[in-house]
Structure 1
């Protein structure tokens, strides 16, 4: 058996990804021998034909054929390629890249990427040919100088997403008994329900791990341990990231004053919001205003 893992299954530079927000590539054979869980800072869509075993949060699935996989940056996963032969394509992208001009629901709420969702689909030969063709087109366009290349890549990604939502998800999951995953799922869903901010007159209610623990009727230490165990990141990091993401969206897509934006996000004084934003992003809120 050839145990292998997909986190080396690409040839991109992570700094290049963060600069452009997107990368597409054909899977190669430069794969680590040891399958371990890891957390990525980006979303991933992968089509793979092989015999594999995938562990995703508290679930796992064994595959033998072609599958389409949707990776979430919140949930760590490992991928063991058991068979000697495999083939496929993958693309990785940030939420900011995919939703550059759209403030609709976040990817965390998508049926394909949300916590507790089903991220793996088994493909028929016809579906494989179609999805392969979309990845091949992305790879071809990725090397061009087309001025609207980013928009074209977003269209391809969205087409894959919509085609996948019409498929039936795989039912071959085995579930690990892990109470931490349930608490983490509830926390992340509750976090997402606080957004987007629709009015500047009602400030964010839940701002700290203690607030979320109280709403979930659990001790804050239990919440923190669970979230750290499942995602590899502290509870505060998830809350902070989501507040900063919303702050950037409000700064770029509304005409609210900076003080109103800070108040809507739970900062009583503009100076608190400015200091918080600068500490976490390295720049002041005003710099995001066009």
Structure 2
């Protein structure tokens, strides 16, 4: 079993890059650095690293993973993470390009939404090598060249700026992979829907007519989840095929039916417990969904 390579191991293996910037917390919030791929090692050791790396490869070679080898014969962007052991082997001809390496603490500082290990291009089993056309190569090269300029500057908050460039780089890469982008959106929709359904279920059971019924509308649920109402509605519709309002109404209806059958509360008490301002509003709601009045269910 190969030992896990640390940042210190990396800098010992790359003495030309062993600058004063190698400290594990060089940014104050994690580590970040960016380098040219010159000189390029003929082969890197196979194994895991305790840091993340994004490499722009211009030159021939192959990425080696546990279950496969990926030949590279044209410019490519490679995403490496602690979760995926790998190695690089150079092919014939010149090697150019550049790479940035960073820790999870660096990218997740500030206002980053989400966890770095959840980013599709860093996950095990996903596509980690993106071949680039000329337009994409120019875009990625421009971002990484700008990173090199910024890190060499005396700008006081340069690491905030570098963090922003890194996020742009990650999302530009995701846009270059439509399948992964679609899966990312679907995954986000599934997570939001699961959070909504959990939050909905937390409103029940109603144990007392005096119990305060918290969330009733899509807007209230969206606010509690810190997402826009339209985003919540789209996510729920995508995953369940039903509207947010319908799922809320159906859950309130099921609770109403349970209270009618298993308690001796009055219709007015049930209406109050379920958050209706007037018993008549509850009766109209119940009759609209079931075709019968609440009293008809209780009498069965």
Does residue 83 of structure 1 match 2:89? no
SS class of match (1:112):
helix
Alignment of 1:12-51 (within 5 A): 12=18, 16-20=22-26, 21-31=31-41, 33-51=42-60
Using a 3 Å threshold, how does the CA distance of structure 1 residues 30 and 49 change in structure 2: closer, same or farther?
closer
Gaps of 5+ in 2: 1-9, 180-300
The equivalent of 2:17 in structure 1 is 11
Contact 1:107/1:114, CA 8 A, preserved across alignment: no
Using a 3 Å threshold, how does the CA distance of structure 1 residues 16 and 153 change in structure 2: closer, same or farther?
same
Instruction: Pick the aligned partner of 2:116 from 85, 102, 107.
Output: 107
Instruction: Pick the aligned partner of 1:121 from 127, 130, 133.
Output: 130
Contact 2:79/2:128, CA 8 A, preserved across alignment: yes
The equivalent of 2:255 in structure 1 is none
Q: Scaled by the length of structure 2, what TM-score is found?
A: 0.50
Using a 3 Å threshold, how does the CA distance of structure 1 residues 30 and 116 change in structure 2: closer, same or farther?
closer
SS class of match (2:162):
helix
SS class of match (1:133):
helix
Using a 3 Å threshold, how does the CA distance of structure 1 residues 82 and 169 change in structure 2: closer, same or farther?
farther
Alignment of 1:245-260 (within 5 A): none
Shift of 1:144: 1.2
Contact 2:63/2:86, CA 8 A, preserved across alignment: yes
Q: Which has the higher helix share?
A: 2
Q: Deviations over 1:234-271 (max 9, x none)?
A: xxxxxxxxxxxxxxxxxxxxxxxxxxxxxxxxxxxxxx
Gaps of 5+ in 1: 1-6, 171-290
RMSD: 2.6
Shift of 1:123: 0.2
Alignment of 1:54-203 (within 5 A): 54-102=63-111, 104-168=113-177
Contact 2:51/2:101, CA 8 A, preserved across alignment: yes
CA distance in 1, matches of 2:64, 2:111: 32
Max Rg structure: 2
SS class of match (1:79):
strand
CA distance in 2, matches of 1:103, 1:65: 32
Contact 2:43/2:88, CA 8 A, preserved across alignment: no
